[in-house]
Amino acid sequence: MKLVRFGKFGSEKPGLIDADGNVRDLSGVVSDIAGDVLGRESLERLRAIDPASLPMAPAGERLGACVGSVGNFIAVGLNYADHAAESGMPVPAEPVLFNKAPSCIGGPDDTILIPRGSERTDWEVELAVVIGSRATYVSEAEALDYVAGYCICNDISERSYQLDRGGQWTKGKGCPTFGPLGPWLVTTDEIDASDLAMSLSVNGERVQHGSTATMVFKVPFLVHYISQFMILEPGDVITTGTPPGVGMGMKPPRFLKTGDRMEVSIDGLGTQRQSVAQG
């Protein structure tokens, strides 16, 4: 099942994608794709609905982030060995965790804004995990039972803020528009996230390509591991790291500028298309 949110920013309605790729309006059934709606029993009820019984969403409506009311937006750093190498950093012995501000979340095709004074705004295609039920001290074997589904995240990063401003990665990761999610939240019954091809293009040039199969720490371990340090609530998002090809790793380095266009894809999870403007 592919779930979406559509409409103006801050006023999105819940929806699902039917077999023909149309957006169907779920607002008569649930208030949002958020919180307890992401639990297993709730998803089973949504799955039982005949999409043809739902009204069509208005044509051409903006797609918002595919999950709403995100509490924790947790990111995993250096989770691909080849990306760690291009960053000049060792592969970590345990997952590197940092926070992205929930206020940076946007729709899959929303404009990316370069922060004021930034000269090193970068891209990162990532698989994001959406939590479906409250998780604390879960085992690795049971971890996927707590996952509602998966989506694409473009983990936009300002490298000088991240690396040169006192060592807190969060500074370069949570600026406005730095967390587009979607287009779809694909539930776990529909996709196996262990080996998905992923790519990112800038102005038509493919700069990143890889597979979730090459993650250092896999999704079940990440959910288990993070749940040892915090309670994960329904609707929380974990974005799981990026393969090589980021601008910082190029020779010479290359960063986003006004007018650039990105296309971000993961097999089975759709494609994001974003333009870049000055914030």
- Write out the chain in H/E/C secondary structure: CEEEEECCCCCCEEEEECCCCCEEECCCCCCCCCHHHHCHHHHHHHHCCCHHHCCECCCCCCECCCCCCCCCEEEEECCEHHHHHHCCCCCCCCCEEEECCHHHEECCCCCEEECCCCCCEECCEEEEEEECCCECCCCCCCHHHHEEEEEEEECCEEHHHHHCCCCCHHHHCCCCCCEEECCCEEECCCCCCCCCEEEEEECCEEEEEEEHHHECCCHHHHHHHHCCCCCECCCCEEECCCCCCCHHHCCCCCCCCCCCEEEEEECCCEEEEEEEEEC
Write the class of the CATH domain 68-278.
Answer: alpha beta
Domain ranges of the chain: 68-278
Each residue's pLDDT expressed in tens, for the chain with a length of 279 residues: 999 999 999 999 999 999 999 999 999 999 999 999 999 999 999 999 999 999 999 999 999 999 999 999 999 998 987 777 777 778 889 999 999 999 999 999 999 999 999 999 999 999 999 999 999 999 999 999 999 999 999 999 999 998 888 877 889 999 999 999 999 999 999 999 999 999 999 999 999 999 999 999 999 999 999 999 999 999 999 999 999 999 999 999 999 999 999 999 999 999 999 999 999
